[in-house]
Amino acid sequence: MEKNHQAIEKKWQNRWEEKGVFKAINGSEKPPYYILVEFPYPSGAGLHVGHVRSYTAQDALARMKRMQGYNVLYPMGWDAFGAPAEQYAIKNHIHPKEAVKENIATFKKQMKSIGFSFDWDREFSTTDPDYYKWTQWQFLQFYKHGMAYKEKVPVNWCETCKTVLSNEDAAGGVCERCGSRVVQKEKSQWMLKMASYSEDLLKGLDDTNFADKVKLGQINWIGKSVGAHVDFKIAHHDLTFTVFTTRCDTLYGATYCVLAPEHEYVDIITTQDKKAEVDAYKKACALKNDLERTELNKEKTGVFTGAYAINPVNKKEIPIYISDYVLATYGTGAIMAVPAHDDRDYEFAQKFNIPIIQVLEEVTGTPHDGEEKKNSIVAIVYDEKEKKYLTLNWGKKGGRLFIGGTIKDKETPLECAKREIAEETGYTSLELIKELPKINHHYYAYNKDKYFNIESTGYFFKLKDNSKIEQNLDEDEDFKVEWVSEDVISKEIKDELHMRTYEYAKNPGAMTGDGIHINSEELNGLNKEDAINKMISWLEQNHCGKKQVNYKMRDWIFSRQRFWGEPIPMIYCEKCGWVPMDEKDLPLLLPDVAEYEPTDTGESPLAKITDWVNTTCPKCGSPAKRETDTMPNWAGSSWYFLRFMDAHNNEEFASMDAMKYWQKVDWYNGGMEHTARHLLYARFWVQFLYNIGLVPNKEMIWTRVSHGMVLGSNNEKMSKSKGNVINPDDIINEYGADTLRLYEMFMGNYEQDAPWSTDSLKGCKRFIDKVIRLKDKVGSKTGYSKDLEALIHKSIKKVEYDLTHMAYNTAVSTLMILANAYEEKEELTKDDYHLLLILLNPIAPHITEELNEELGYKPLTEETWPKYDETKLVDSEVGIAISVNGKLRNTIKVPVDSSKETLEELAKNDEKVQKHLEGKEIVKIIVVPNKIVNIVVK
RNA sequence: GCAGGUAUGGCGAAAUUGGUAGACGCGCUAGACUUAGGAUCUAGUGGAGCAAUCCGUGGGGGUUCAAGUCCCUUUACCUGCACCA
């Protein structure tokens, strides 16, 4: 008895629409529940099976919540401004709004054919004048509260798209849209003061229930770092510049400073003899875009200005360089460089031969009371020809070590190292490659029964030739001198000090970790944290610095030189400057024209439409010109979830009453790729509206979750060029919307990517057919079948839990298990079957409604979600695992809640278990009721 | 380089607090019913072995009566950020 899914699905979709069963009612008595999916950009390609996955997931939740008595708001709309529609329009010479209209119609038809329970009454597009009127209105609020300003800034400029890109759009120095290289260009742009919200955006996360990875993404993007400002005077100038550092504890190790090439002092302080070189370098940097800068980060570049800065802590003069590894846009555009403790500075210092002063030494070993202090050395000698290292094999006494020794009076560490090598091994012909960072080591010497704390200096030598003198050993020195390979060293050298010294020799670089300070006067002996605090107090007392917090996040560049975006409602008047449009004149409509190509000068196509551009100043009435830039794509999506709460309001963007009723988006689903940008913009926008009293909460989104992608069957991202695209329309035609929905819920972990499999899809079709067949078993009895009761109650609990915890795949498998149990039975009660239909309805709404109607029940959209009974969740019998020494030996069936003693007896006397107990002594028996018995034997 | 994530049969994957690894589905094998099967049903299906049994959650170590799950270490892949001082 084959069902015609196409007819059934159409029938129920029409019925739902006629009855308006999915309408959310503002101010309803029922508790509100707001479920949101990111509204799509209606592309020409139509709905993607990826959309189906997340919309179905949220739809299942919405349908269950409705049955549970909630007033559910599950809206849908269109984020339709943006480049693709504009490109399409340029190509085909039609207005982008025509293309958008067509695409929306396609999307909407597809969505309806899948049976999503959207409240279509609240539908809108960001391109509707009724909507973007409020986007413009909100921009004016930003402006009026001093949060929007126009400024000439170096911006990311895409030569191909002829537009400015935000840092977010130009991540990695590549245009997000067209993939071409981004160059730097000075342009006057509208900016929103987002950076000033950094701390609030960080703190606000505490008032959300975002997934941890989402929160972390936001935290990283905001990029807070706590440090200090330090003022450096410039020698022979009456000038001071400030650097930002998180490591003011290393000030004594600062051996040079670097200014960004764009820094305002560069021209002033550069000495005559350096001027040509500095100018050339500045010019070269200006030509580089972000990508080239990063590409070249393998090799540091820079130029000495000829000027010197005075280190405030020790009054030493240190050279000032300029280099593009210092960014003009972060911190103060200037740094103090501590090559011993910063990787980048180390690299630069190496290249330019700048001194490296260690001010922090790593600590190894464990401190102990009553330690004796010593200074000592560890010498590593390398034979390049043989590729071997010189070691001393102390046998059982001390294992394998490099050469070590204590520094004698009036001996330098280097002399000590050479002496020890000669005495212990005889080798004398050595070339010093490198002095290694000092290490602070704690250890216990068995031969002397004493604890030591040593400061060890490492030396790395190369063996020049084999010339030797005779060894000169102490009595207690009993070792073999052996040359060994790297392998042997990594296996046999266990001593922490020697191993760390060896690692320093092999991988020279900065020591960026914690330790104790040296060469730092009053900071000596302190760890990193204490030294930072002490230094900050010192800087503040001496008025040459202070504690300072910095953020990576910058202000939001809010202009685009495009046609297809919200016009920025600002007017430029020669007399009055920038004047905001009168609010009552909004919306400022996009004109209808035939040419959308951007201009070569980087102005928006709107600039060519003189009728539109020329206007009068709202303030003084003189002739004036409109702003021709439009808003970025992210503008409309920054507040759309507020509009859904009150979509038809002509007086306000949304009334306070409506927003107070819905409170927050309870459950917001979107792609992981939007966690940094869209979500941050939206939160910033909302926080601003809250601060001016226009929304009820500082955070308007409670839970944010993200979904994995649906990949092609070859495990690659679906794309036309790879030919692995699945069109949902085809699947619906052949298998039905319910099958598609069911499969997409079943395909895998919702938060992870999952490949498409048409075979698995067929399995889901079979399951639906099975549910249809089960109807033949339904008899006239009511109430649940006794032997199914426990499983039924378990299933209700599990499905309910899974749908609210994004475990859709296991919700489906639970239903499959239930159906399998039904199939075993000769006869089912009406209630047995009705229950299965209710539980399955959120995921497969059409077929369940149909079967439900055939059974004579009221529609499932009016049904109440069943309640499970905790007391009926357990079976009367339970399987107990019996293991011996943790290995499973048998499983037995016992009445549920059998006592520990009973289980222990049963386990010991079990035939299969006894075999493993023979001749052994029982040490311990662990009994976990209703789970496991583990017998430990010897 | 930094941060985050993932790693379990031939495949997609399960395993709420450490407690019977592989639920559920796909595929595969054999059989039944059939003119036919891409329908349905029955049985089987992690590996080795006739079996008892042994081995199995990327690799190595550890904690525990007991580890996919906790700790240390290491590898591979994915994603995001990338000179952020």
* ipTM associated with this complex: 0.93
Phi, psi angle pair for A171, to nearest 5°: -55, 130
Task: Provide, in whole angstroms, the distance separating residue A914's CA from nucleotide B52's C1'.
Answer: 14
More reliable by pLDDT, A252 or A299: A252
What pLDDT is stored for residue A191 in this prediction? Answer: 92
Calculate what percentage of chain A has a pLDDT beyond 90: 61
Which nucleotide lies closest to A751 by the C1' atom and the CA atom?
B5
How far in angstroms lies nucleotide B67's C1' from the CA of residue A762? 37
- Judged by C1' against the alpha carbon of A936, the nearest nucleotide is B65
Nucleotide nearest to A753 (CA to C1'): B78
Q: What is the dihedral of CA A496, A499, A501, A502, to 10 degrees?
A: 180
- In tens, the pLDDT along A514-567 reads 889 999 999 999 999 899 999 999 999 999 999 999 999 989 989 888 889 999
Nucleotide at minimal C1' distance from the A225 CA: B84
- What is the predicted pLDDT for the residue at A910? 80
- pLDDT given for residue A1 in this prediction: 43
CA atom of A763 to C1′ atom of B27, Å: 11
Residue A183, pLDDT above cutoff 60: yes
Looking at strand B, which nucleotides approach a protein CB closer than 7 A? 3-6, 11-16, 19-21, 23-27, 39-42, 53-55, 65-67, 79-85
Q: Per-residue pLDDT for A26 more than 60?
A: yes
Question: Distance, angstroms, CA A634 to C1' B84?
Answer: 24
Q: Which pLDDT score is estimated for A606?
A: 86
CA/C1' separation A614–B76 (Å): 62
CA of A888: nucleotide with nearest C1': B20
Choice between A408 and A594, residue whose per-residue pLDDT is larger:
A408
Residue A298, pLDDT score? 63
Quickly give A888 CA vs B67 C1' distance in Å. 15
In this prediction, residue A175 carries a pLDDT of 67
Judge contact between A77 and A124, C-beta under 8 A. Answer: yes
Q: Within 10 Å of residue A371's Cβ, how many Cβ atoms? A: 16
Mean of pLDDT over chain A: 89
- Protein residue nearest nucleotide B16, by CA to C1': A801
Nucleotide nearest to A887 (CA to C1'): B66
Better-predicted residue by pLDDT, A722 or A113: A113
Degrees, nearest 5: CA angle A506-A507-A511: 130
Mean pLDDT of A479-501: 84
Could you tell me if A564 and A86 are in contact, meaning their C-beta atoms sit under 8 angstroms apart? yes
> Is the predicted pLDDT of residue A242 greater than 70, yes or no?
yes
Can you give the pLDDT at residue A288? 67
Q: Nearest residue to B15, CA vs C1'?
A: A810
Distance A706 CA to B5 C1' (A): 13
Please tell me the distance from the alpha carbon of residue A341 to that of residue A360, in angstroms, as a whole number. 8
Q: What is the C-alpha to C-alpha distance for residues A380 and A217, in angstroms, rounded to an integer?
A: 44
Mean pLDDT lowest for which of A105-109, A667-671, A679-683, A888-892? Answer: A888-892
pLDDT, tens only, A324-349: 899 888 999 999 999 999 988 999 99
Q: CA A250, A252, A258 angle in degrees (round to 5)?
A: 75
For A423-434, what is each residue's pLDDT tens digit? Answer: 999 999 999 998
Quickly count: other Cβ atoms within 10 Å of residue A641's Cβ. Answer: 24
Tell me the nt nearest to A332, Cα to C1': B85
Does the pLDDT at position A289 exceed 60? no
The answer on pLDDT for A462 being more than 90 is yes
* Contact between A34 and A668 (Cβ < 8 Å): no
Q: Give the mean model confidence (pLDDT) for residues A308-312.
A: 97
Residue A773 CA, nucleotide B39 C1', distance (Å):
13
What b/e sequence results for A461-486 when a residue is b if at least 16 CB atoms lie within 10 Å of its CB, and e otherwise?
A: bebeeeeeeeeeeeeeeebeeebbee
A296 pLDDT more than 60: no
| Band (A892; pLDDT cuts 50, 70, 90) | confident
- pTM: predicted TM-score of the whole model, two decimal places: 0.90
**Res A374: pLDDT:** 92
Q: Above 90 in pLDDT, residue A399? A: no
Query: Pairing relation of β-strands A614-616 and A256-259?
Result: unpaired
Beta-strand relationship, A148-158 and A182-192: antiparallel
More confident residue, A920 or A58: A58
What local confidence, expressed as pLDDT, does residue A627 receive? 94
Name the residue closest to B6, CA to C1'.
A752
Q: Which pLDDT score is estimated for A176?
A: 64
Whole-angstrom Cα distance, residue A83 to residue A44? 12
The whole-number Å distance from A725's CA to B12's C1' is: 18
State, as a whole number of angstroms, the distance between the CA of A756 and the C1' of B66.
39
Listed range (A365-369, A513-517, A608-612, A728-732) with the worst mean pLDDT? A365-369
Q: Which nucleotide is nearest to A743 (CA to C1')?
A: B25
Tell me: pLDDT of A935 over 80: yes
Nearest nucleotide to A292, CA against C1' atoms: B83
Choose between A286 and A590: higher pLDDT: A590
Nucleotide B53 C1' to residue A909 CA (A): 21
Distance of A930 CA from B23 C1′ (whole Å):
19
Dist. CA A802–CA A841, nearest whole Å: 14
